[in-house]
Amino acid sequence: MLDTDACGLHQIVKEFAVSKTSDFSDSQPVAASEIVEFEEPVKELLEAFRTQNKLLEPFSEPIYWTKALNPIKEDFLARLERIFKNHHYSNFGEEHQELELKLRDYLGVKTCILVNNATIGLMLALKAAEKLSEVKSKKVITTAFTFPATVQAIKFLGFEPVFADICPFSLCLDPENVERTIKKYGVPLAALPVHVFGNVCDLEAFNYLKQKYGFVLIYDAAHVFGTKVKGHGIGCFGDISVFSLHATKILHSAEGGILTSDSVDYETLHILRNNGFAGVDLVKGLGINAKLSEINCALGLSIFPLIDEAIKKRKKLYELYQAILKPVDFLEPLLRVSSDVSPSYMYCPYALSSKSGISREALIERLKKYKVVIRRYFYPLLSKVNCYLDAAGADELPVSEDIVQRSFVLPLNSYMEIDDVVKICELLKLELTALRSGVTARQAVINPDI
Ligand SMILES: Cc1ncc(COP(=O)(O)O)c(C=O)c1O
């Protein structure tokens, strides 16, 4: 028989009562009023787990850290019919035009350009930087705590990545460290900070550095579609922002990307994605084929009406995770934004604290038994990967090296329900206790003194 006391299930209800009155710090986007909403359903779920002895049973299907949204089927099929009828599969047809305009309005930006993925989008942004930058240099300052695409784009174009360290709080590139790096390695052509996990870079500090040194500021915004700063979309900061529309993202078109800007004009970026063409038989400069097909755009349009609800649902689930896991020793939430930022809850990132003595890899393996797939992110750190080992700054990243060893993302997607989150949290708590005591989960359940 499952001993619920040992699992701490009964504790959660008490913790919810506490969290109702907790003074959540400015950096944790959880509103106490919203936590109250969960109290009754969570009580019922805890009771069900207790009476049916269900906690240690694996989920019927694996629960991944993300799950792609399906489109509104009838809308998608109708759009496909229209494409078939028009025989218009690429080159900025009706679907493309509609999606680009919708995104421009949604993101609240002057220039919005669709491309075939964010990796190519970053390359186009860097190519534009060559024209725009006041600085003649091959160097681009960036972070090693990112998806390979960020640094690959730099290297693929023959530019030189220079690594600066991240801020231990936001996990985004640290502007002070960037300035120190500039003093050591010279002023770069561009800086390429990443809004990591939905956290927002220090926008003011980067703007200050951009003015002071004259480099082009490109944000890798792959993770932050739907994030708002003071109610405004995040794509208007710096010179260019690059969003991903990959299937793992909240809004997706299977593959795809968006370039946004408030200062760079549409034509400059359009030429770059359109093999240099500015119009029929009018080749104006260097470009590449980065066009997004009509079918991809149709998919994006058929998902677009779902995203506001999807963000609301993710917010609820994220807040539930945060409320349940808040009092758990040795766990640190990594989504940390100030009160003027509303995140899109793309990820649910956590880290084991440095003092936990618990192996993250062991935790990942243990949760797999229940079909709960938590994953390391941005692992390995890019400064440790062969082709970037000799990049300037690669061996001066203590904060990045520390965080990449301890962090992971928990399952979060809009197809999950409250009981999934409650169960995942309980399994996580149980396995943390068991791992600290060097026993199995079942032993931890049986022996309440552990
Ligand atoms: C931070 C970051 N930058 C860039 C990319 C590349 O995006 P895409 O798959 O659209 O090329 C990703 C992909 O997830 C990412 O996480």
CA distances from 105 to 267, 305, 345 (A): 18, 14, 21
Q: Are residues 301 and 319 in the same domain?
A: no
Q: Above 70 in pLDDT, residue 7? A: no
Mutate to test the pocket of ligand 1, among 244, 344, 382 (most ligand atoms within 8 A of CB): 244
Atom of ligand 1 nearest to the CA of 146: 1
Distance (Å, whole) CA 179 – CA 182:
5
- Specify the CATH number for the domain of residue 277: 3.40.640.10
Mean pLDDT across 18-35 = 37
- The per-residue pLDDT for 47 is 74
Cα of 44 vs centre of ligand 1, distance in Å, is: 40
Q: What would the pLDDT profile of 64-107 be if each residue is shown by its tens digit?
A: 999 999 999 999 999 999 999 999 999 999 999 999 999 999 99
- The per-residue pLDDT for 194 is 98
- Residue type at position 432: L
Instruction: Name the average pLDDT for the chain.
Output: 89
Atom of ligand 1 nearest to the CA of 121: 11
Q: Are residues 375 and 259 in the same domain?
A: no
Give the end of a domain, one of 305, 326, 352: 305
Q: Above 80 in pLDDT, residue 36? A: no
Atom of ligand 1 nearest to the CA of 117: 10
Atom of ligand 1 nearest to the CA of 120: 11
Q: Are residues 351 and 400 in the same domain?
A: yes
Mutate to test the pocket of ligand 1, among 246, 249, 296 (most ligand atoms within 8 A of CB): 246
* 3-state DSSP assignment of residue 201: coil
- Per-residue pLDDT band at 159 (split at 50, 70, 90): very high
Mean pLDDT across 362-389 = 96
Give the end of a domain, one of 257, 273, 305: 305
- The per-residue pLDDT for 446 is 62
Per DSSP, what are the bridge partners of residue 92?
A: none
Q: What would the pLDDT profile of 107-158 be if each residue is shown by its tens digit?
A: 999 999 999 999 999 999 999 999 999 999 999 999 999 999 999 999 999 9
Q: Above 50 in pLDDT, residue 23? A: no
Cα of 68 vs centre of ligand 1, distance in Å, is: 15
Q: Are residues 64 and 80 in the same domain?
A: no
Cα of 83 vs centre of ligand 1, distance in Å, is: 28
**Could you list the residue range(s) of the whole structural domain that residue 408 is in?**
4-68+307-446
Q: Above 80 in pLDDT, residue 374? A: yes
Q: Are residues 253 and 166 in the same domain?
A: yes
Name the pTM for this structure.
Answer: 0.90
Cβ proximity of 172 and 144 under 8 Å: no
Atom of ligand 1 nearest to the CA of 196: 1
CA-nearest residue for atom 9, ligand 1, is 246
- Residue type at position 238: G
- Nearest Cα to 437, choosing from 351, 338, 357? 357
Q: Are residues 269 and 157 in the same domain?
A: yes
Mutate to test the pocket of ligand 1, among 140, 147, 248, 259 (most ligand atoms within 8 A of CB): 147
Q: Are residues 365 and 387 in the same domain?
A: yes
Cα of 197 vs centre of ligand 1, distance in Å, is: 12
Q: Are residues 93 and 179 in the same domain?
A: yes
Q: Are residues 313 and 441 in the same domain?
A: yes
E strand or H helix at 101, and its extent? Answer: helix 94-107
Mean pLDDT across 213-238 = 96
- Per-residue pLDDT band at 14 (split at 50, 70, 90): very low
- Per-residue pLDDT band at 320 (split at 50, 70, 90): very high
Atom of ligand 1 nearest to the CA of 257: 10
Q: Above 90 in pLDDT, residue 188? A: yes
CA-nearest residue for atom 7, ligand 1, is 118
- The per-residue pLDDT for 54 is 76
- The per-residue pLDDT for 166 is 98
Exposed (0-12), middle (13-18) or buried (19+): which is 105, by Cβ within 10 Å? exposed
Q: Is the dihedral of CA 175, 178, 182, 187 positive or negative?
A: negative
Cα of 217 vs centre of ligand 1, distance in Å, is: 18
Atom of ligand 1 nearest to the CA of 194: 1
Contacts of 449 (CB under 8 A, 6+ apart): none
- Residue type at position 163: F
- Residue type at position 246: H
Q: Above 90 in pLDDT, residue 56? A: no
Cα of 194 vs centre of ligand 1, distance in Å, is: 10
Mutate to test the pocket of ligand 1, among 65, 116, 119, 140 (most ligand atoms within 8 A of CB): 119
Q: Above 60 in pLDDT, residue 22? A: no
Mean pLDDT across 33-60 = 72
| Token pair of 64 as six digits | 């991944």
Give percent helix, percent strand, percent coil of the chain, each to the nearest 5.
45, 15, 40
CA-nearest residue for atom 8, ligand 1, is 118
- Per-residue pLDDT band at 384 (split at 50, 70, 90): very high
DSSP letter assigned to residue 169: T
Atom of ligand 1 nearest to the CA of 220: 3
- The per-residue pLDDT for 35 is 52
Q: Above 70 in pLDDT, residue 32? A: no
Cα of 149 vs centre of ligand 1, distance in Å, is: 6
Distance (Å, whole) CA 317 – CA 38:
10
Q: Are residues 144 and 161 in the same domain?
A: yes
Cα of 379 vs centre of ligand 1, distance in Å, is: 14
- Specify the CATH number for the domain of residue 335: 3.90.1150.10
Please give the residue that has the higher pLDDT: either 420 or 7.
420
Mean pLDDT across 178-202 = 97
- The per-residue pLDDT for 437 is 83
Q: Give the chain's domain count.
A: 2
- The per-residue pLDDT for 450 is 57
Which range in 7-16, 47-56, 220-229, 320-329 is most confidently predicted, on average pLDDT?
Answer: 220-229
- The per-residue pLDDT for 38 is 65
Q: Are residues 222 and 241 in the same domain?
A: yes
Mean pLDDT across 389-394 = 98
Q: Are residues 361 and 441 in the same domain?
A: yes
What is the percentage of the chain residues whose pLDDT exceeds 90? 81
Cα of 210 vs centre of ligand 1, distance in Å, is: 24
- The per-residue pLDDT for 79 is 98
Distance (Å, whole) CA 442 – CA 430:
9
Give the end of a domain, one of 238, 273, 305: 305
Residue 76 CA neighbour count, 13 Å, CB half = 17
Residues with Cβ within 6 A of ligand 1? 117-119, 146-147, 149-150, 194, 220, 222-223, 244, 246, 257
- Per-residue pLDDT band at 447 (split at 50, 70, 90): low
